[in-house]
Amino acid sequence: LYYSKKYNLLVLLSEFIIPMDLVQEMSEALLDFAKKNKVRQIISLGSISIKGEQDTVYVITSDHKRLAKLFKGMDDVEIIKEGATTGVTAMLLAEGMLQKIPIISLLAEAHAEYVDPRGASMVIKVLNRLLDLNINTRELDREAEEIDKQMKAIIEKSKEIQKRYKERERHISAESIYQ
């Protein structure tokens, strides 16, 4: 739990997925806290599996009237108008609609196979513009570049191994023909 007096911003961070049997209780506790403390809006940061190029942050909200105005001019943001989500964010969005509490979910495209610093950087950059913050993402961007380099090296090594395997396979096939 982090609080910034300067930005009047409370950040709740979870390092693990909330078990389904606790989702309702956690959602109610967050909404109760928000109401008691007159929170203006709740913003959830998360990710979805990458579809192609990693260049989009998706938005789901309980307050569609404010949506167009909030994200105007953000070409890297795509509004999800219908679909399904799960967990605490889903409960917050549903209750936010019913109770007229603005809830926004920002979802970066991210790789499901590993922690994805590029996805984290993307969603933080949108959050920066949305709330006029200045959270530094240089380290995340640097980590993303490092992962890209490592992945390219692994792919090249894999191609080389595959090439040697095929050559060896042809060599073995040719030997068996002449025996």
* Token reading at 99: 């109770």
State the chain's mean pLDDT as an integer: 85
78 pLDDT tier (thresholds 50, 70, 90): confident
- The CA-atom distances, in angstroms, between 82 and each of 16, 28, 78, 143, 178 are 26, 24, 12, 33, 64
Average pLDDT over residues 80-106: 88
pLDDT of residue 49: 85
* Token reading at 125: 């950059």
Higher pLDDT, 71 or 19: 19
Question: Does the pLDDT of residue 131 top 80, yes or no?
Answer: yes
Q: 102, 39 in Cβ contact below 8 A? A: no
% of the chain at pLDDT higher than 90: 31
| Placement of tokens 């078990």 in the chain | 19
Q: 105, 60 in Cβ contact below 8 A? A: yes
Task: Kindly report the number of other CB atoms within 10 A of residue 141's CB atom.
Answer: 16
pLDDT of residue 121: 94
Query: How many whole angstroms separate alpha carbon 31 and alpha carbon 91?
Result: 10
Query: How many whole angstroms separate alpha carbon 128 and alpha carbon 111?
Result: 22
Higher pLDDT, 137 or 61: 137
User: Is residue 49 helix, strand or coil?
Assistant: strand
Q: Which of 51-55, 59-63, 92-96 has the lowest mean pLDDT?
A: 51-55
> Residue 135 contacts by C-beta under 8 Å, 6 or more apart in sequence?
124, 127, 128
Q: What is the dihedral of CA 33, 34, 37, 43, to 10 degrees?
A: 130
